[in-house]
Amino acid sequence: MIVQSTRGGPRLEDTRAVLAGIAADGGLFVDASLAGRRFDWRACLREDSLGMAERILRFLLPGFEDMHTLVRRAYAGKFETEDLTPLVRAGEDYVLELFRGPTSAFKDVALSMLPQLISAAREQEGVKGETVILTATSGDTGKAALQGFCNVPGTRIIVFYPDGGVSPVQRLQMATQEGANVRVCAVRGNFDDCQTGVKRAFAAIREGELLRGTGRELSSANSINIGRLAPQVVYYFIAYAKLLRSGRIREGDEVDFVVPTGNFGDILAGWLAKRLGLPVGRLVCASNANRVLTDFFETGVYDRRREFVRTTSPSMDILVSSNLERLLFYASDGDAAFVRGCMDQLSQEGAYRVPERIMARIRAEFSACCCTEAETEASIARVWRETGYLCDPHTAVAMHAAREYRRAEAAGRPIVVLSTASPYKFPGPVLRAVGGSAEGDEFAQMRALNRLSGVPVPAGLSNLDRRPILHRDLIDREEMLDYILSVLKEGRS
């Protein structure tokens, strides 16, 4: 299948697009023919979770030859439950637990699949040289990508994260990562600096042909990669199927989804699920104190020129939400010149305005809500007190948004909140919120939170303090390109 850049540049087979990660013109790859293709969503709901994943990914990425095998290699035996993402009740809401994978974060669903896709694409396209994965993370993508690509033949991965901008547990997950093909580096700056640095490195390396003659090619594990985004569509179908099988809904009933959102990939996956026919009602974009997306939905102006706030939900501490570019492409009927103009304005001026006719289309399907730090802490406490459900700060932002949405505009439909991380990745803020004393380091806090709540600590987190620190690199944001080239020049990680 041919996909194209949101900015009007290259058109590639989907296998080549997954390998490329980002288009040569800086745009993101999209399936412009999506509206004209029919997907049997009803038949999909009758499958188990792996069967759903196979059907959906075969439809979205039809160029891959053996999706059945790839899906099973990605997921079988790697998650806590066979259905990948349990759906649990928390008061009036349903919570889709996306953190039951190997790194206790929602990124595991996509980043268990992406290495399989890249390996298959390399084989189908006859790639012999090394595929170099460049990744920026605001917390969870880094560890999930490192875990997924660890010692995968023919690949090397370099992960950048903002120094001081991830939780101590997230930092340790990355700093202790083993693997002959992995490298982790902290950057003095925020996530947007890391993400911008990766995009600029892509452009500089490709334009300057800096890898010419090395046999290496660049790719990405961020959700800018269409192979990372596509697997995220699957869990919306899983949630709907669970509600259907429980008798909570009938086939065809709409369900609303509330999604804690930073880079806009997770919620865009829900919009794509709706395009495939799944009866998705409204998609509620839940933001933390970095409310750039809430302001965009309210005003039609995307403006990153504001104070960057470091919060207890660091994976959402983002001012440039890359995947919004894909929504703009679809909402403008594939107007690549319009999208390119918006992205140029964002880069050069820091803001752009979307015409009201396009915003009307977007607002017909999306709502938005933001949550302050005080409200996040109160949300953790309220959900625990009223329902006995222990949630991390990102999920708490979404639980707050679900409550506000229900008060303001909910239509009586079931509401599913996407829960994105284990509370034990943020033990201090969660412990304080539920009335505990957050003394000692994060591991003492984990133990205290476990004693207070009775919720088990994930095995992958409980012994982090006993693992050796393997990655200590720290650079300025202007040094990212030089760092990448030096790592590749070494020929080792």
Amino acid letter, 216: R
- Which token pair is 398? 């979404």
Angle at the Cα of 433 (from 389 to 460), degrees rounded to 5?
60
Residue with tokens 């040289």: 129
489 assigned to active site:
no
- Which token pair is 2? 């041919």
Torsion angle of the four alpha carbons 388, 390, 393, 397, in this order, in degrees rounded to the nearest 10: -40
Distance CA 346, CA 2 (A): 28
Non-local CB neighbours of 107 within 8 Å, separated by 6+ positions: 140, 141, 143, 144, 145
Burial class of 463 by CB neighbour count within 10 A (0 to 12, 13 to 18, 19+) = exposed
- Which token pair is 368? 């938005």
Q: How far is CA 233 from CA 172, 265, 268, 270, 436, in A?
A: 29, 10, 9, 6, 37
Q: Quick one: which H or E segment has residue 185?
A: strand 182-188
| Beta strands 2-5; 93-97: pairing state | unpaired
Burial class of 389 by CB neighbour count within 10 A (0 to 12, 13 to 18, 19+) = buried
What is the per-residue DSSP string for 121-182? HHHHHT--SPEEEEEE-SSHHHHHHHHHHTT-TTEEEEEEEETTSS-HHHHHHHHT---TTE
Q: Which of 107, 143, 274, 425 is catalytic?
A: 107
- Which token pair is 147? 């875990």
Residue with tokens 């953790």: 380
Non-local CB neighbours of 298 within 8 Å, separated by 6+ positions: 368
| Beta strands 280-287; 301-303: pairing state | unpaired
Q: How far is CA 313 from the centre of its chain?
A: 14
Q: How far is CA 264 from CA 317, 318, 383, in A?
A: 12, 10, 25
Amino acid letter, 376: T
Active site residues: 107
